[in-house]
Amino acid sequence: MMKEFALHVLDIAENSVRGEASHITIHIVEDKQENLFAMEIADDGKGIPAEMLKTIKDPFTTTRTHRRVGMGIPFLNDTCQMCGGHLDIQSEVGVGTTVRAEMQYNNIDRPPLGDIASTILNLFASYPQIHFNYVHEYREKDEDGLREFSISTDELDEVLEGTPISTPSIYVWVKGFLKDSIRELYHPEDGEEEEEEEGE
Amino acid sequence: MNVRDLLKLEDLKVAVEGDMDQEVTGGYMGDLLSVVMGNAEEGEAWITIQSHVNIIAVASLRGVPVIIIAHGFEPDEDTIETAKDEEITIMTTELPPFQIAKKLITEFGL
């Protein structure tokens, strides 16, 4: 079990990178109304052969043979099961892989999401050749719909006009943007206040 | 002995000062919150590497007066705030869980 769920996100996304993906979508859902905490990472990488897919959650086959994935998937599988959920991996060779992890939001053993902004930023900055898309949905109890924040590296590249995200000043700016946007997702009223202050 | 007495060990640092006069009668060690929730007893000092806010819920539910976060981990901000509200003391140590447990046993006979 990893201490922060963001570390699982990093681990699974790096599998996609190693799988030579050019597009990776990371989708986080925190739905208190449905008591659901979910992560889905979809890529268009080389995919996992059916034979390997069968044993991918088993830690022993993982360590005995040299495979491109380590203990990350068995750990994530354990965490999901321990937290009243499950892990689902769909993959087709030459098409891509989708990893979906689901847990009960309110399960006492569920690790906290942790510093997801830094995780996403590091992925964006470390792999400039990959098109990333990040979608984060959140809903309080008794709220009608899910609130959503999404950002893609294509959108960022357009704004940055080719300056790499790893450029120190840009890195700091994107980090602040991600942190603020995710904070606003949880507390939309804070963002409104700030905007009002700016307007004065 | 009470929570304050634990500070005779220089390895322990106070992160949140709760009700330090509460009695400490023993210790419990564990990182899986559901197991701790089912087994820690009132008055026990709880050693864990977990640092998120759920540890305060577990401590409060079980009457644990002090949480010792081991291995150099630091409590999250909302953990600190909630611990203050619940008057639960949080201490931290650089030592791994086994080492700090050993000191609690040898120094205090817990």
Domains of chain A, first to last: 5-199 (3.30.565)
Torsion, Cα of B28, B30, B31, B33 (10° steps): -70
Structure tokens at B60: 């409060």
pLDDT of residue B60: 93
Q: Does A85 touch chain B (CB under 8 A)?
A: no
Question: Starting at the edge strand that comes first in sequence, how are the strands of the sheet with B66-69 ordered?
Answer: B13-16, B89-92, B66-69, B44-48, B26-29
Nearest CA in chain A to B73: A3
Lowest model confidence (mean pLDDT) among A43-57, A79-93, B8-22, B90-104? A43-57
* Residue B98, beta-bridge partner list: none
pLDDT of residue A199: 44
Q: What is the CATH number of the domain that holds B60?
A: 3.40.1390.20
Closest CA to B43 of B63, B14, B28: B63
Q: Does A187 touch chain B (CB under 8 A)?
A: no
For residue range A144-160, what is the model confidence (pLDDT) as tens digits? 999 999 999 999 999 99
Number of domains in chain B: 1
Cross-chain residue pair A112–B52, CB shorter than 8 Å: yes
Q: Is the pLDDT of residue A161 over 80?
A: yes
Question: Please, which pLDDT band fits residue A55 given cuts at 50, 70 and 90?
Answer: confident
Distance from CA of B49 to the nearest CA of A (A): 9
Mean pLDDT of the B45-70 span: 95
Do the Cβ atoms of A83 and A107 come closer than 8 Å? yes
Mean pLDDT of the B46-62 span: 94
Do the Cβ atoms of B66 and B12 come closer than 8 Å? no
Closest CA to A70 of A56, A81, A53: A56
Structure tokens at B57: 């819920």
For residue range A68-111, what is the model confidence (pLDDT) as tens digits? 556 789 889 989 999 999 999 999 999 999 999 999 999 999 99
For residue range A125-139, what is the model confidence (pLDDT) as tens digits? 999 999 999 999 999
- DSSP E strands in chain B: the ranges are 13-16, 26-29, 44-48, 66-69, 89-92
Select from B33, B49, B76 the Cβ nearest to the Cβ of A108: B33
Q: Which helix (H) or strand (E) holds A85?
A: none
Regarding pTM above 0.95, the answer is: no
Phi-psi region of A145 (alpha: psi -120 to 50; beta: other; left: phi over 0): beta
Q: What interface predicted TM-score (ipTM) does this complex get?
A: 0.73
Residue A169 φ/ψ, nearest 5 degrees: -65, -35
**What does pLDDT average to over chain B?**
96
Q: Does A66 touch chain B (CB under 8 A)?
A: no
Residue B24 lies in domain: 3-108
Task: Tell me A33's DSSP state.
Answer: T
Select from A3, A108, A112 the Cβ nearest to the Cβ of B34: A108
Q: What share of chain A is helix, strand, coil (3-state, %, to 5)?
A: 45, 25, 30
pLDDT of residue A61: 62
- In chain A, which residues have their Cβ closer than 8 Å to the Cβ of B57? 108
